[in-house]
Structure 1
């Protein structure tokens, strides 16, 4: 077995001898040069070798296997006499399947009539899935459980047609409960095929999969950190207990100290809803992403976030569902969650500037996966973690791990300079708003979301047409809104804003002078201190903006 094979330097996609239609699609995506993993993996895969790819999240793994798969399909079309499924892509969650399919659609933009791909996990109706498989699409993307069911029922046959098998996020398929499904799929595969395992880590589970699916593979383990370099990704922490966390969070958003798209991570589904209701009190819009939402709602939430409809998304870390010691409500039990859903890992959130750990992650890997949502590609980003006394040991473990990864003795997770006493009025406002969100309020919010899903469900529309009384009963149920709305919380009066921030936060409620603001020496020193902190994006060019 060959490890870490050195290949000739490839600077552009043109040097890889790809089909012109693929190159045109790549050009349309504005990918100027291949990433490191694409540069190393694509030539090996085009040669037909089995490859185990290990690279950090956001490194371009999906395109690294998608491009060779499409090229292989185009090559086989030259001599093919009939339509058949030649590539099977497996991923542990529906969101990942959707993301992979979107990459395939983008890369086949110039040859969609020739290379057909479907995302089997997107369709809940088995009849629809069967009809799609009957057309023998070239590429099938699915979770292991769904494709195994169709293989057993004879809706798809791969013994004589499969040429390429890809398992993405291979280290997660076991934790999502797909171990037996994968072992069952092997019985329906041909004896010879090209296999690709892509993963962010090389765990024992990945080694087990390697023995099952790969034959004399090339192990492509890039010598790179798990996260983006410190010049691209900044890590901060704030020591804060529960009431202080909500006060700081509201102050950060209302004073515009956090700019750009943000993902806020919590450790339970209930906390998602509680935090959303809290932010609503302050007029801060957000959306929720967790395993209990239907697949289409989850994909829709990610899509709206990526389109900029929401700048804040609140996500529950799915790993908490696998913790037997974690205290869970009846709503957040593992049995009630979608086994094919994942949030913290692998989903492609676009242009995320900030990751905020409202609840500190439960282990080092979870921190890595959360932090991997930002600073993707050539973008910069920040991770801000709220740490209470109980979470201090967890943060120390993460700090030690990051130091070894960045090869430094200096602190990686730096202390975020935030003087809570300067925003004391936010503490009182936040404390009252947080207490107002009771268990009943969280329950009602979740029930309201379920009702909205019922009203929007196409399958139930015909039922409501035939049974209008059922719809009236739902619509005339008691109003869910147990939280007393306090309109004044959404406004930020001047008197509660620290003097040092009044000219820097750029809040529209300020009474601005007719003359452009000219900072004094003290303000200039503040600017210099804030400039290096990505979370404090102050309007340093205030005067020029006023002139324009």
Structure 2
């Protein structure tokens, strides 16, 4: 199957060809025709399957074919994403494919000033890409009008629920017309996602191109057992011996990301860290330098890395295993994208054996293990708790059920009770 058979106009087909694509991915082949027909769509597709183009291309087609006559531009399509990085990625996709169309786009997220966003909205836009918290700030100040929305897209809906955006999503839904086309994209069709869909979508076409919580088949996964204190040395050794020019490394905490980036720099490996305590400009700069090859190692926390779109990223390393097994799948999905191969390595010490068991249960198979000569784990090392019990609290009082610290709030959203437009901070 080729893109020519999906019902897209010549201008969009040229834009796709200019990006070097000739055949649609499975989710694109199913989603594009369904969206063009005008009905609601509920799609489950793991990261790296081309789902962003799967909804931006038909959205652009429908908006350009049904342009209203005269009058001021109004928001006709709204795309909600869980994080700033994903919002920027979706905006880039809209601009890449819709660059020759008479449509204007605005991206709205926290961590940056509201005034430039307000000015853009006042000039009139057709498409808004937004994180829920900052969008609610604009709605509260009356700087965005959603009464003309024809298409509503929830991208990575499962992650938005995980991050606590459900009430924000419902407030946005209440502000857009009931007569609209709604598209929901998620990595899973969990019970919670289905419940959300029941109240939002009308007889949706259901598309599922990957089994629930499965890792990409074209990603080579491997575990390197190592002593607790030797992880950094092993990581440096792997990067230098393998001459890796681009590697994304995951840590559990913001502090750990900063510390590891500094240590790798000291080892002569140009590194940068991205997490929720970094300003948006610092995060954007670090990602740009990484893509340009000026930074060799990008160290990230889970939430900050969600939605990162890095072409042909060859290596992902779990410097620390995630608290939640499903996050392992999201992490390694940063590589092996769009049919390309990739490598995902996990450096596992004795403290993390239970976390590794949880990942094996999720994958329904063990990950191959390989001890790197010179970095054999100390057999006498005993496990230590990964998380310290908060002072003055009961045994789980300091953590939410999903493993995130109770004091953290959804990144890209806002602090409850804080100033309008103030960005929440989380990894």
Determine if the TM-score, normalized by the shorter chain, exceeds 0.5: yes
C-alpha deviation, 1:277, in angstroms: 2.0
**1:67-216 to 2 correspondences below 5 Å:** 67-77=57-67, 79=69, 82-111=72-101, 114-121=102-109, 124-159=112-147, 161-216=148-203
Query: Aligned to 2:322, which of 355, 361, 364?
Result: 361
**1:140-539 to 2 correspondences below 5 Å:** 140-159=128-147, 161-224=148-211, 226-229=214-217, 232-254=218-240, 256-318=241-303, 342-343=304-305, 345-403=306-364, 411=366, 413-420=367-374
| Inter-CA distance 236–189: structure 2 relative to 1 (3 Å threshold) | same
TM-superposition CA deviations, 1:104-148 (whole Å, max 9, x none): 01001222xx11111122783323222211222010111112222
1:17 is matched with which residue?
Answer: 7
SS at match of 1:183: helix
Contact 2:107 2:130 in 1 (8 A): yes
Contact 1:94 1:121 in 2 (8 A): yes
| Structure with larger RCO (C-alpha < 8 A, sep 6+) | 2
Contact 1:360 1:387 in 2 (8 A): yes
Alignment partners' CA distance in 2, 1:251 and 1:259: 10
C-alpha deviation, 1:376, in angstroms: 0.8
Contact 1:24 1:110 in 2 (8 A): no
Alignment partners' CA distance in 2, 1:346 and 1:124: 18
| Inter-CA distance 218–358: structure 2 relative to 1 (3 Å threshold) | same
SS at match of 2:162: coil
| Inter-CA distance 421–103: structure 2 relative to 1 (3 Å threshold) | closer
SS at match of 2:136: helix
SS at match of 2:258: helix
TM-superposition CA deviations, 1:48-88 (whole Å, max 9, x none): 11011100100011111101110011111275655222101
TM superposition score normalised by structure 2: 0.83
Gaps of 5+ in 1: 1-10, 319-341, 405-410, 423-548
Contact 1:123 1:129 in 2 (8 A): no
Alignment partners' CA distance in 2, 1:313 and 1:265: 9
Contact 1:122 1:296 in 2 (8 A): no
- List structure 1 runs of 4+ shifted beyond 6 angstroms: none
Alignment partners' CA distance in 2, 1:108 and 1:251: 44
Contact 1:260 1:354 in 2 (8 A): no
Higher helix share: 1
C-alpha deviation, 1:37, in angstroms: 0.1
| Inter-CA distance 207–224: structure 2 relative to 1 (3 Å threshold) | closer
TM superposition score normalised by structure 1: 0.65
Aligned residues: 375
